[in-house]
Structure 1
Amino acid sequence: MIRRFIRIMAIAGVAGAAGALFAARPEALQPQALDGLSADPARGEAVFWAAGCASCHADADAKGDEKLVLAGGQRFASAFGTFVAPNISNDVDAGIGGWSTADLANAMLHGVSPDGAHYYPVFPYASYSRAALQDVVDLRAFLATLPADPTPSAPHEVGFPFNIRLGLTLWKALYLDSDWVVTGDLSPEETRGRYLVEALGHCGECHTPRGALGGLQTDRWLAGGPTPDGKGRFPNITPGALDWSKADIAEYLNSGFTPEYDSAGGHMALVVENTAHLPAEDRAAMAAYLKRVAPVK
């Protein structure tokens, strides 16, 4: 009787573990999701700059064409450990040269690697999840035109328990949400700005405070907060603190100069290098959206 009970409990345990693993499997695109979409690398270049790929994956001191060598290596300290940007160059072995378009889409929209593992959300897929599939298709085509670099990706320096990636299943259940943060009756310009700020530009990843598990506190959207290394603060860029005009914001995203003739520094300088590549109407759209965000004191 006891043996039978132990056997039943063992079977139940195995079944429970299998069920948990099944539930923890990363979500991925349906095979037909990309059907009918054709790639345009020229459009993909605009997506590349809007998404800020070079800001993390190129060398922090890169200039000019060096920005297009995406060998990774930048380090990002946080309370959970230090994350290292990987090589996403066109190298087949060290980078993503062997990735399909679906592989890139799964990474950006679902935070899933080609081998089915969860990515850490330091890769801002929580924002990219709002991106249009057409933009991902075009981005993949542009990335394929960039140089290959054989530099191996360095491992993240993350200790227990954060090195157990299955735990990211819970994180995604709590925080991976492709709904728009700012809703309501937006103009076409504001709607375009929302797409650039909330999705491709992933501005909320820095300018929105985070909770204990690292999820964005969207009730204080773009209200600023401490930097991940704890050594500074990201500014509040809602109308409750940023009183710049729409033209002031658009100019800052183009030149990096503030209305007080100060200039962007730190990682924001890299962001401005990206937004300066965008059409003027896109920078104006981002400014229009920021003027519509709920003010936070």
Structure 2
Amino acid sequence: MRFSKLAKAAVLVAIVAGTAAFVLTMPSRIPASALSPRSADLANGETMFNIGGCSSCHATPHQGDRTRLGGGLALATPFGTFKAPNISPDPTHGIGAWSEADFVNAMKKGIGRNGEHLYPAFPYTSYQRMRLADVRDLYAYLKTLPPVETPSQPHDLAFPFTVRRGLGLWQLLYVDGKAFAPDDSRDAVWNRGAYLVEGPGHCAECHSPRNLIGGIEANRRFAGGPDPTGKGWVPNITPGPGGIADYSVKDIAYLLETGFTPGFDSVGSSMADVVKNTSKLSAEDRLAIATYIKSLPPRSGKAPPKGPKTD
């Protein structure tokens, strides 16, 4: 009798827990009705494309045209290898058949066209901070690029990371849906830089260490650490120990334009790809980014191992 009661209680607990998990992991979408008619600003869309580094991940590897977004780049992580998808306007293999609402939900909510949770190798945790108008302009700009008839490759992941529904619990921790809020105590240049760095530029996604479940460690944000791909070291970009305290705002802006550091060295690895994008921004936007980065609170990051050159 006692065993029967315990079994029934266990079943009841399992049902309640399963129901709670099902409800908590349900995708939350922005309805198409929230997107009022507007004329897209393609020039702004191109700016978002550049600061967002879309070509760095999604351009077809081993060809020189950064607008051919056929995907295929492999991103190695502790959770498996992610393959950047085709986001060209091809209607079969890219996003040509996606509605604007589909795209907005991917960027702002981390939800795919078919209602699936997207893996945060796609940095929607930063893109959620973007203004809705900027996301819509980016969508319009992407639609002007050449379609690429290359199927997206499947990710190479092991169980349980193959179960996308579980990402709904992860998103409860790291996706709050809040857009960037300007700081009224700062000037327009600082706020523009803060927006570009924290939103479309997603700089913290690479320049911050992560915890065991892949979330950014908030107390060491921007303090650098091991490259998520397992190759090299991502530098500390705060004025803290081992960071960029000796860089002026002008130095940072110049690096974003040319790739050269104040010590007459040049950035390499993935940062070289970043500079290919930031060099196409306006001088005003590079100055704004530099202004914000220079203002970051000093944080101490782990020292890179001796040997390989860092970014």
TM-score (norm 1): 0.91
Alignment of 1:52-131 (within 5 A): 52-63=53-64, 66-131=65-130
Distance 1:276 1:152 in 2: 30
Measured in 2, the distance between the counterparts of 1:182 and 1:228 equals: 30
**Matched letter for residue 275 of structure 1:** T
Deviations 1:181-209 (A, max 9, x none): 99673221110001110100000000011
Q: 2:117·2:164 contact (CA, 8 Å) conserved in 1?
A: yes
Give SS of 2:190's match: helix
Question: How far has the Cα of 1:152 moved from its partner?
Answer: 0.6
Match of 2:305 in 1: none
Q: 1:264 offset after TM fit, Å?
A: 1.8
Q: Secondary structure of the residue that 1:163 maps to in structure 2?
A: coil
How is 1:201-240 mapped onto 2 (pairs within 5 angstroms)?
201-240=201-240
1:29-88 deviation per Cα after TM superposition (whole angstroms, max 9, x unaligned): 13332114431222211111111100100134443xx10000001011111001110011
State the shift of 1:8 in Å: 11
Q: Secondary structure at the match of 1:82?
A: strand
2:292 paired with 1:289: yes
Moved more, 5-14 or 287-296: 5-14
After TM superposition, the score normalised by the length of structure 2 is: 0.87
1:166-245 to 2 correspondences below 5 Å: 166-177=165-176, 178=178, 185-240=185-240, 241-242=243-244, 243-245=246-248
Q: Which moved more, 1:276-285 or 1:239-248?
A: 239-248
- Give the aligned length: 294
1:239/1:8 Cα in 2 relative to 1: closer, same or farther (>3 Å)? closer
In structure 2, list runs of 5 or more residues that go unmatched.
301-311
Partner of 1:30: 31
The residue type equivalent to 1:190 in the other structure is: W
1:164-193 Cα offsets, whole Å, 9 max, x none, are 111111111112244769967322111000
Match for residue 280 of structure 1 among 268, 278, 283: 283
Q: What's the Cα RMSD here? A: 2.5
Match in the other structure for 2:260: 257
Residue 148 (structure 2) aligns with: 149
Tell me if structure 2 keeps the 8 A contact 1:181–1:198.
Answer: no
3-state SS of paired residue (1:108): helix
CA distance in 2, matches of 1:263, 1:284: 19
Higher deviation after alignment, 185-194 or 22-31? 22-31
1:82 partner amino acid: T
Contact 1:111 1:120 in 2 (8 A): yes
2:249 is the alignment partner of 1:246: yes
**What SS does the corresponding residue of 1:67 show, helix, strand or coil?**
coil
Pairwise CA distance, 1:145: 0.6
Q: Amino acid of the residue matched to residue 248 of structure 1?
A: D
CA contact (8 A) 1:37 1:134 kept: no
Q: Which runs of no fewer than 5 residues in structure 1 stay unpaired?
A: none
Q: Percent identity?
A: 48
Equivalent position to 1:267, from 270, 286, 298: 270
CA distance in 1, matches of 2:193, 2:46: 18
**Offset at residue 258 of structure 1 (A):** 1.0
- 2:306 is aligned to none
